[in-house]
Each structure stands twice: as C-alpha cells, then as structure tokens.
C-alpha cells in the first residue's frame, strides 16, 4: 500500500489540496475520508468537487441527513456522510454498494465507522492539530488509487515553490 502525508494551514489550503486531487481523477473511484467532527472532511470534499468540474456556484454541503448528495461535473460525484448511520447497519440493504465503486467518484465521510467499504480506494485520514492546521495521511489500495496518489504527490510538490516567500 502506497502512502503519503502532508499538512495544510487553512481551510483554503485544504480546499486546494482537495481540488488538486479532484483534477487528477479521470475515472470512477472511491475516496474514503476519516477524521473527527471538524477535521475538514467536508472542506476537502468541496475542493475535490471543484477539481472534478462541479461549478463554483453549486454549494457542497454535508449530506449528514440525506446520506448522499450527487453532483454532476466532469465525472459524477457522490458525496456520502455515514455519521448518522448506526454502526453495523447493512450498507448493501441501503443501496450503498452500487457506488463503491460505481458510475462516479464516491467520497465517503466517516468511512472508518464501516471498515471494508471497498476493496480498492484512496483512504484519507485527517487529524485536527492546531486550530488551523490539519494533517492528511493518504493510503492507496489498488492500481488506480496508487496512480492518482502518485500524481497528487507530484503536483502538490510542484506547487510548493509558489508559496515560498522571498
């Protein structure tokens, strides 16, 4: 399993990281997001949505009560939030399995509550550190996610010189 870690220093930078990931994705895949309330899962997904070509005017809000919000971009985005689902709930019965993987990009908040959601995925664990600092740890399972992660690493490191203050 390939891994990578990076930190962001503001919600905006988290959105940029999400956007960088969204821009790379060219085919349906599963992105599993883990981290406590306020970690930045929704914020990261907002960036991903922009990178996937969902128009800026379209607000990306947490699907806490709806379970899933669909969006149409370059690829479809299916944004899940499993926070309110009782642990041990039968996800197949809820029809979730058809998205994992499915016809679009499935992004799942609170994925850690349901281990084994997908066989191939990009897992993102977000840790709340300082008030404005978040650490991101990425793990890829499967060749599609591994390639996406490799590109993300590369694009993000190439972006860094822009931020260097002279």
Cis peptide bond upstream of 101, omega within 30: yes
Instruction: Determine, following the binding rule CB under 6 A, whether residue 59 of this chain makes contact with ligand ADP.
Output: no
Strands 121-128 and 105-109: unpaired
Q: Cβ of residue 31: shortest distance to Mg ion, in angstroms?
A: 14
Q: Cβ of residue 103: shortest distance to ligand ADP, in angstroms?
A: 24
Q: Cβ of residue 42: shortest distance to Mg ion, in angstroms?
A: 3
Instruction: Determine, following the binding rule CB under 6 A, whether residue 134 of this chain makes contact with ligand ADP.
Output: yes
Of the candidate spans 10-18, 23-31, 93-101, 141-149, the one that interacts with ligand ADP by CB under 6 A turns out to be 10-18
Q: Cβ of residue 106: shortest distance to ligand ADP, in angstroms?
A: 16
Q: 46: burial class by Cβ within 10 Å (0-12, 13-18, 19+)?
A: buried
- Structure token digits, residue 68: 């899933």
- Structure token digits, residue 48: 């991903």
Binding stretches for Mg ion (CB under 5 A): 41-42, 62, 109
* CB burial string 3-24: b at 16+ within 10 A, e below: eeebebeebebbbbbbbbbbbb
CA separation for the pair 6, 48 (Å, rounded): 16
Q: Which of residues 31-50 bind ligand ADP (CB under 6 A)?
A: 35, 37-43
Give CA separation, 48 vs 25, 85, 93, 94, 114, in Å: 9, 24, 28, 25, 22
Q: Cβ of residue 17: shortest distance to ligand ADP, in angstroms?
A: 9
Instruction: Determine, following the binding rule CB under 6 A, whether residue 129 of this chain makes contact with ligand ADP.
Output: no
- Structure token digits, residue 163: 């931020």
* CB-nearer residue toward ligand ADP: 81 or 105: 81
Residue 54's binding partner among ligand ADP, Mg ion, none (Cβ under 5 to 8 angstroms by kind) is: none
* CB-nearer residue toward Mg ion: 87 or 162: 87
């Amino acid at each position: 399993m390939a891994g990578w870690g990076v930190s962001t220093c503001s919600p905006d930078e988290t959105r940029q990281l999400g956007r960088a990931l969204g821009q790379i994705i060219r085919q349906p895949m599963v992105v599993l997001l883990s981290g406590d309330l306020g970690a930045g899962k929704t914020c990261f997904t907002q960036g991903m949505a922009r990178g996937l070509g969902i128009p800026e005017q379209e607000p990306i809000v947490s699907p806490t009560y709806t379970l899933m919000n669909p969006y149409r971009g370059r690829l479809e985005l299916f944004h899940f939030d499993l926070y309110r689902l009782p642990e041990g709930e039968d996800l197949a019965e809820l029809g979730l399995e058809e998205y994992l993987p499915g016809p679009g990009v499935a992004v799942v908040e609170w994925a850690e509550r349901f281990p084994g959601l997908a066989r191939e995925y990009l897992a993102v664990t977000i840790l709340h550190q300082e008030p404005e600092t978040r650490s991101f740890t990425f793990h890829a399972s499967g060749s599609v996610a591994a390639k996406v992660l490799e590109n993300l690493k590369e694009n993000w490191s190439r972006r860094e010189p822009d931020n260097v203050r002279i």
